[in-house]
Amino acid sequence: MDRVDKVTPPPVAPGPEVRFGKYRIVQQLASGGMAHIFLATLDGPDGFSKACVIKRILPEYANLEPFSRMFADEAKVAALLTHPNIVQVFDFGKIDGQYYLAMEWIQGQSLDRIMRHAAKAAIPLGARVTVDVGIAMADALSYAHAKTLSDGTPLKLVHRDITPANVLVSRDGIVKLADFGIVKSSVNLERTVAGVVKGKYAYMSPEQITNRPLDHRSDLYSLGIVLYEASTGRRLFKRDTMEATILATSQGDVPPPSQVSPGFAPELERILLKLLAKAPDARYLTARELRDDLERYRSAQHWTSGGGELATLMATLFPPDAKGRVAVAVPGSAHSPSGLSGPASLISSESVEPLEDSALVATGVLPRGPGSASVASAQEAAAAAPFPWGLAAAAGVALVGSALFWLFAA
């Protein structure tokens, strides 16, 4: 739900045992402006111990009703979802004034960090990894989009935050979708605030960035951006300023992957361009339809399934240290570790904007920071402008961002 500023677990200093309700805190995994994330265990009799991740909201935000409602909505929706490609949330509560979520611990990395490490190592992810990730995410979204409440009422879920930071890959090659913090569903539909755009600007569909009505096909478009970037090593809509990113995302002009990466497979290009069609009606009707198309492509290439390729990639990019330890992912986390660099064509480390810039400022939950007015103006301009955009808007985008894609950097 918020940007996280640390991913690599810090050393655990000896000291007294720290308890948080029924959980024993092992170490802090990440910290951000609104929440802290901890590795914890749930201990029981006879040596029973289950590792988990605790996402704990800071007290000053727990007391803000809109924020606490959003966090509660995340818990309500997540509790309904049980799928092998979705990070499992199994507990929600409030202890000493702090709301928390308990979720499964993924021993792996976010796709965001995988792409940055691959860039540093000059290892292209390529079509096979992209297809494996795409099939797993299509499975997760197919399940989530079709989910119903216990009485059979459709949940009408739209994740609204499909980004590389929210796609986790375990060391065994299992892919999971994380972070339903800004999900739109029948659980929270009555509390949707008019005029609020939620999500990460560089991964929004044209209808999402302009605050038009959206449905599950918006998630498919966002997944298309993720797969495009994974397969080409190029950022699609991210620019050097937030305003320019909003305008680029609103326009939705997608260079064919074969123009960006010569030799790109024509059939995979067809699938990505269908995902990234500006008009929702021109996209895949459902995530299941997307999955079937990706499966046909994988079968035609005689690639096996099972995550073996991803597991090999993980072992290559994230080998154990001298003590046999490996870095681990935090559900919903995003960070740009230092010391990473790569060719200028590769994806920027700044892949996720803080939530206070992309969602909560508009609701009044957080104070406006520097540049908020210009961001709001860019959103208003994007929403007001008809499609296709005029030459003036196109010229403005060209002037603002002379370089379309950005390298990984701390």
Catalytic member of 73, 139, 161, 219:
161
Cα 156 from Cα 152, distance rounded (Å): 12
| Secondary structure letter of residue 191 according to DSSP | G
Q: Does residue 388 have a cis bond before it (omega within 30 degrees)?
A: yes
Six-digit token pair at 350? 């700044």
Residue owning tokens 């809509």: 237
Radius of gyration for the chain, computed over Cα atoms and rounded to the nearest angstrom: 21
Residue owning tokens 């979520």: 101
Going by C-alpha positions, the residue among 218, 197, 179, 204 that lies closest to residue 86 is 179
Determine whether 161 is an active site residue: yes
| Secondary structure letter of residue 184 according to DSSP | B
Q: How far is CA 363 from CA 3, 64, 336, 366, in A?
A: 18, 11, 27, 8
Q: How far is CA 401 from CA 123, 237, 251, in A?
A: 27, 10, 14
> Which bin fits 138, alpha (ψ -120 to 50), beta or left (φ > 0)?
alpha
Cα maximum dimension of the chain: 71
Active site residues: 161
